[in-house]
Structure 1
């Protein structure tokens, strides 16, 4: 099976008029499936589980508790990270939900097994590290803006940082999403990980006094060079050899590679977003201000994103007034 099972065609609201039954089922299916990136990850996990079940002559759907326990144990023994094991369990649960079948993940034995795997591995969630503002500025100033690649990469990194973007959001940006004015830049985007219903949403980006590190002027320079006649389509596109432009949208994976190329192998594209939260926090921004840009829903997520590994960085001891 190349994808998760298809959601049931019937809808729980059997009292609906006949002409509403089909669209209601479609909405239920969309609600069950979730974000596209999650769908792709889960589909891969589900293929792995069904192949494992086929090898061991076990039924994948509905799966037994023993089958799932054996599969998860084999993943753990193979050295997979705790988060990877947990994601496979979530994918299997989603497959059963879509098929209206009872999921073995609800069994207390599986919950205990997952807890034991996490405890034995003693694995902390690997988070993308944050960079300091000073080091980021040095990196940006060192980019060669005499080339198309340099113009693009400088604009990409600055926009990713100042807009607290996820890499998938950066990849999805279109020229028509941008609105420049004398105060700065407003970016419209209607779908993200935390906005799956397509509601209108915006991010604000501001001018920087220094030309080389200004996200707006850098983005405008890239657009003048790459899309002087275009008013629609991808903001960030790939280049062929010889600095030749294409109309192919950069993928999230490509954006991750660009970030690593400039910032170093310890960093990922997610470091742009984590660093926005950390730098803003260090400069006195409160959680509501940060959430207005990151679009996080809770302060708890802001705390999770803040990378403060130095006890002196953000400490109320400096504000006692002694």
Structure 2
């Protein structure tokens, strides 16, 4: 049996932050931030309990998960468990997270949470047309109309939408576009997926590009003092655009609050279902690999099979 040197363990205990640097480039920056935060929360919890975080015992991890369950969704708890697992592996310590007691604890947590996962309000064609109509007749309006229409037809996540570059667009002879979405949450290695647009959306994008001008890397960029700025937009820009468009359209506050940066992807998927497209076509259009995941997007669609 191999015994850990107590001094070595103490050193590693204080160096998990440094060890996490080894993950850079292997995970998306947002995922890295989440894991770093999750481990920090676990370490702080252990310190308050007066117990060691590394190496953690099975009982320690179970206690942490159970306490987290009172305020956090199962998906968050699962991610924190995985972050603890990664930290132990990076520190080359015995990993307690695969113990059967951990599995049983997590099953109890899931069974105790009866609330359905929160789904963003779908920004369907009805709302898209409203949101396009209220955009101002200025450069911001040109950009916003192109972003809304393109995000809807490409079924993008907000991170995918702001990451698009002019070089990702191919204008076709039928006045539509072929677009490659090079990196997404479900495509960490950047194989990319192909999507297409309508002629109407292609026109909106062309109008924006004509005003924006050349020599700018990202397709959508900030506007400062009436001029395009050569840098990318933050993902929160998409969320703010959708929220402000909903408000400008005169929608009730409760409905406005239900929209999120994910609403374009949700609404477009629901519209494709209602238009009669089969599961395979919808999965291809949105880049889904799992029918189960797609099912969660479609479960709130206003689609009556008996009508």
Compute the TM-score of the two structures, normalised by the length of structure 2.
0.82
Cα distance, 1:246 vs structure 2: 2.1
Alignment correspondent of 1:14: none
Alignment correspondent of 2:288: 296
Structure 1 residues 189 and 138: alpha-carbon distance in aligned structure 2, compared to 1, 3 A threshold: closer
- 1:161 and 2:152 equivalent? yes
Q: State the alpha-carbon separation in 1 of the partners of residues 60 and 44 from structure 2.
A: 12
Alignment correspondent of 1:260: 243
1:1-322 mapped onto 2 (5 Å cutoff): 1-2=16-17, 5=20, 33-77=26-70, 79-144=71-136, 146-183=137-174, 184-207=176-199, 214-226=200-212, 228-230=213-215, 232-240=216-224, 242-263=225-246, 264-308=256-300, 310=302, 313-315=303-305, 317-318=306-307
Q: Deviations along 1:266-301, whole A, 9 cap, x unmatched?
A: 111111111111100110111111122211113222
Where in structure 1 are there 5+ consecutive unaligned residues?
Answer: 8-28, 208-213
Where in structure 2 are there 5+ consecutive unaligned residues?
Answer: 1-15, 247-255
Check the 8 A contact 1:5/1:99 in 2, yes or no: no
Structure 2 SS opposite 1:131:
coil
Q: Deviations along 1:223-264, whole A, 9 cap, x unmatched?
A: 1112x122x511111233x44432231111222222222232
Give the aligned length. 282
Q: State the alpha-carbon separation in 2 of the partners of residues 87 and 111 from structure 1.
A: 14
Let me know the Cα RMSD of the aligned residues.
2.4
Alignment correspondent of 2:250: none
Q: Deviations along 1:104-146, whole A, 9 cap, x unmatched?
A: 32222222222222333322211212133223212212212x2
